[in-house]
């Protein structure tokens, strides 16, 4: 059965081909026997490249996610071999892989990271009842509920999608062709209740796997973010993520980025004098938000003296107006 229009029969994968669209829409014949499906995958893996726009998108995304409050921690997770997330997802092929809908590059969904971390907390922290998930006879532990949520809440911590970090040199998509062999296809498909036998014909099944580095990001209260990262790192390094982890797929090494140094506005206020206020005050307000802006404004007024700020020489300066406004004067 043809899976694409006759006008597109001559189309082949090229450098700019969207990997997700090609995998789902590019197969010529769904029912064809033989190596057709493997050739369909192989053609993509050999020629597809990373979209130029993806590098710019990734930089914008990284900058925005690292700025999320109250606390965001990031880590670089590197696949030690190959990884396949979404192998059993619905697909016109027998196998699938999770690819970005817009750019066609592999990524790890945040839901997969959260599920892995939740399972690891229950498994590896079994001596701590507060980390156990709900069971038939057990209530969910308080720590597990706070971090990962339950049926009534989504938890304190957000697990973001882990986007693939583009390679600076290699322009190819980080995809490879793999093959798994089903030795007893009739038995697994429950055809006529046939038992597995030595004379069954093995069936090779081609699938696409991923490699490369991925930016893991977690946002929430600092205490719970640190706990989430610690659990997640141990899980991806020891258990792996995605399908076929028992065969060694999905193992990763993780290097966590240090938190940026907290801006100490109190120290900056102590360094203030009228000769340096023109550049120091705007710098202070650039780094403080919410209630801290009011507190900083009050501290600046106390340090520089209210009368000096309202003097004719200074009261019309922008930084003076900002200080008085933020202090509610």
Contact of 50 with 172, CB cutoff 8 Å: yes
Give the span between the Cα atoms of 100 and 108, in whole angstroms: 9
Assess whether pLDDT exceeds 60 at residue 7. no
* Distances from the Cα of 266 to the Cα of 104, 302, 319, 324, angstroms: 47, 12, 17, 18
* Distances from the Cα of 235 to the Cα of 118, 158, 242, 275, 306, angstroms: 9, 17, 12, 54, 56
Contact of 234 with 65, CB cutoff 8 Å: no
Sequence-ordered list of residues with C-beta below 8 angstroms from that of 293, at least 6 positions apart, any chain: 285, 326
Give the span between the Cα atoms of 62 and 311, in whole angstroms: 45
Q: How confident is the model at residue 95 (pLDDT cuts 50, 70, 90)?
A: confident
Maximum pairwise Cα distance, the chain: 99
What is the 3-state secondary structure of 178-224? EEEEECCHHHHCCCCCCCCCCCCCCEEEEEEEECCEEEEEEECCHHH
Assess whether pLDDT exceeds 80 at residue 35. no
Which of 77, 32, 99 minimizes the C-alpha distance to 241? 77
Give the span between the Cα atoms of 107 and 159, in whole angstroms: 13
Q: Which H or E element spans position 73?
A: strand 72-79
Q: What is the pLDDT of residue 53?
A: 93
Assess whether pLDDT exceeds 60 at residue 5. no
Which of 280, 260, 276 minimizes the C-alpha distance to 268? 280
Contact of 138 with 164, CB cutoff 8 Å: no
**Cβ atoms < 10 Å from Cβ of 240:** 22
Q: What is the pLDDT of residue 73?
A: 94
Q: Lowest mean pLDDT of 106-110, 248-252, 281-285, 286-290, name the range.
A: 286-290
SS3 301: helix
Which of 79, 72, 124 minimizes the C-alpha distance to 106? 79
Tokens 């710019």, located at residue: 56
Summarize pLDDT for 193-249 with one digit per residue, the tens. 777 777 677 777 889 999 999 999 999 999 999 999 999 999 999 999 999 999 999
Assess whether pLDDT exceeds 60 at residue 3. no
What is the 3-state secondary structure of 114-164? HHHHHHHHHHHCCCCHHHCCCCCCCCCCHHHHHHHCCCCCCCCCEECCEEE
Assess whether pLDDT exceeds 60 at residue 55. yes
Assess whether pLDDT exceeds 70 at residue 261. no
Higher-confidence residue of 194 and 255: namely 255
Q: What is the pLDDT of residue 197?
A: 73
Cα 272 from chain centre? 41
Give the span between the Cα atoms of 84 and 96, in whole angstroms: 9
């Amino acid at each position: 059965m043809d899976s694409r229009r006759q006008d597109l029969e001559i189309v082949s994968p090229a450098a700019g081909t969207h990997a997700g669209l090609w995998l789902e829409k590019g197969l010529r014949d769904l029912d064809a026997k033989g190596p057709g499906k493997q050739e369909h995958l192989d053609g993509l893996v050999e020629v597809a490249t990373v979209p130029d726009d993806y590098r710019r998108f990734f930089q914008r995304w990284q900058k925005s996610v690292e700025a999320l409050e109250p606390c965001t921690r990031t880590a670089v997770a590197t696949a030690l071999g190959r990884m396949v997330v979404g192998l059993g997802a619905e697909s016109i092929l027998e196998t699938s892989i999770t690819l970005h809908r817009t750019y066609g590059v592999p990524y790890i969904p945040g839901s997969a990271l959260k599920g892995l971390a939740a399972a690891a907390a229950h498994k590896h922290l079994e001596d701590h009842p507060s980390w156990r998930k709900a069971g038939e006879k057990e209530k969910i532990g308080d720590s597990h509920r706070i971090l990962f949520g339950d049926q009534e809440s989504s938890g304190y911590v957000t697990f973001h999608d882990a986007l693939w970090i583009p390679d600076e040199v290699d322009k190819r998509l980080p995809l490879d062709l793999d093959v798994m062999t089903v030795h007893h296809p009739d038995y697994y498909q429950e055809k006529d209740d046939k038992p597995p036998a030595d004379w069954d014909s093995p069936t090779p099944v081609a699938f696409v796997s991923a490699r490369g580095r991925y930016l893991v990001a977690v946002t929430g209260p600092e205490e719970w973010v640190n706990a989430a990262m610690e659990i997640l790192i141990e899980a991806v390094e020891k258990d792996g993520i995605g399908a076929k982890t028992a065969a060694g797929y999905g193992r990763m090494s993780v290097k966590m980025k240090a938190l940026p140094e907290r801006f100490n506005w109190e120290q900056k206020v102590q360094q203030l004098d009228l000769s340096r206020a023109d550049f120091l005050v705007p710098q202070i307000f650039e780094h403080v938000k919410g209630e801290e802006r009011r507190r900083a404004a009050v501290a600046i007024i106390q340090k520089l003296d209210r009368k000096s700020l309202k003097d004719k020489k200074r009261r019309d300066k922008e930084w003076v107006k900002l200080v008085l406004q933020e202090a509610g004067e």
